[in-house]
Amino acid sequence: MSCTINNGGLNAGRKGTIMRDSLKILFLFLIIIGVSLGCIESQKLPVPNETKIATPEPTPEQKLPLYNETKPLKINGTFETWSRGYYSNLSYEHSYFRVITNYSIWIAFLNEQGYFDYVAGRGPYRLEGIIFPGQGVMPKTIEPADFNNYSIIAAMMGLTAPAEGPEIEIKNITRINNLINIKVRIVRGLGALTYSAPYHIVIVKREFLPKGNATFVFSDTEGKKLEDTIIPLEAPVGE
């Protein structure tokens, strides 16, 4: 039996195989170069039993504000007590409040309370400052120039039935934009023999209050608005 070997066919097949292998190597080389240069994104193979974790939507508090969005800023104000005690004008039968922004109104307020008669020894205790600055110690004098830097807030409890230990106290003052919130603690007291009209008068830095008109809201420590109030804002704050 004879067998004829065609060397030409074998050589052609070998050349084709070498060419295909060379093209594969070149293609793989180009892929490696592309991945290293960032032109081709590498594909992550799925991991068996991989569980994707859902990311919850951020809450409104966690969301960043939009570029043009303005959120109200709550500012805590500091204040100084001018006088606090048990006797003010006894003719008021309910709580009332004052926001005083200039000297002439301040003098009118003190005169209405009977303070000047008390200081001159012509009248009974009025704004006597028993709690602060202390019995027998007169509150400091407020000059006209002081109203360039300060305003005054007064919380007046009004006439209380004979009771022991009634008190009114301004606890804190906060500002949100043009809204001023004043928290007031009121203690009615227990039975006693004398009438009183507790009060608390504080000095607030004018820079804390907004310029122009402002709204003052007085509420008790439980957040209940104190309805029986008189809040005349005689002049725009900051002007």
Residue 239: which pLDDT band, with cuts at 50, 70 and 90?
very low
> In this predicted structure, what is the pLDDT of residue 229?
47
> In this predicted structure, what is the pLDDT of residue 111?
97
As a whole number of angstroms, the distance between CA 236 and CA 209 comes to 10
Count other C-beta atoms under 10 Å from residue 154's C-beta.
21
SS3 (DSSP) at 118 = helix
Contact 99, 153 (CB under 8 A): yes
The distance from CA 169 to its chain's CA centroid, rounded to whole angstroms, is: 21
173 HSE (CA, 13 A, CB side): 25
> In this predicted structure, what is the pLDDT of residue 82?
97
> In this predicted structure, what is the pLDDT of residue 156?
95
pLDDT of residue 87 exceeding 70, the answer is yes
The distance from CA 15 to its chain's CA centroid, rounded to whole angstroms, is: 82
pLDDT of residue 28 exceeding 90, the answer is no
> In this predicted structure, what is the pLDDT of residue 164?
67
> In this predicted structure, what is the pLDDT of residue 5?
46
Q: Answer with the residue of higher pLDDT: 103 or 31.
A: 103
pLDDT of residue 63 exceeding 50, the answer is yes
Average pLDDT of the chain to the nearest whole number: 79
Residue 39: which pLDDT band, with cuts at 50, 70 and 90?
low
Look up residue 235 and give its two tokens: 């002049």
Cβ-based burial of 20 (10 A; exposed 0-12, middle 13-18, buried ≥19)? exposed
> Closest Cα to residue 219, out of 228, 211, 210, 207?
228
Contact 27, 40 (CB under 8 A): no
> In this predicted structure, what is the pLDDT of residue 54?
60
Cβ-based burial of 159 (10 A; exposed 0-12, middle 13-18, buried ≥19)? middle
Residue 4: which pLDDT band, with cuts at 50, 70 and 90?
very low
For the stretch 181-237, pLDDT in tens is: 999 999 887 666 678 899 999 999 998 888 888 899 999 999 999 865 444 434 434
For the stretch 133-157, pLDDT in tens is: 998 899 999 999 999 999 999 999 9
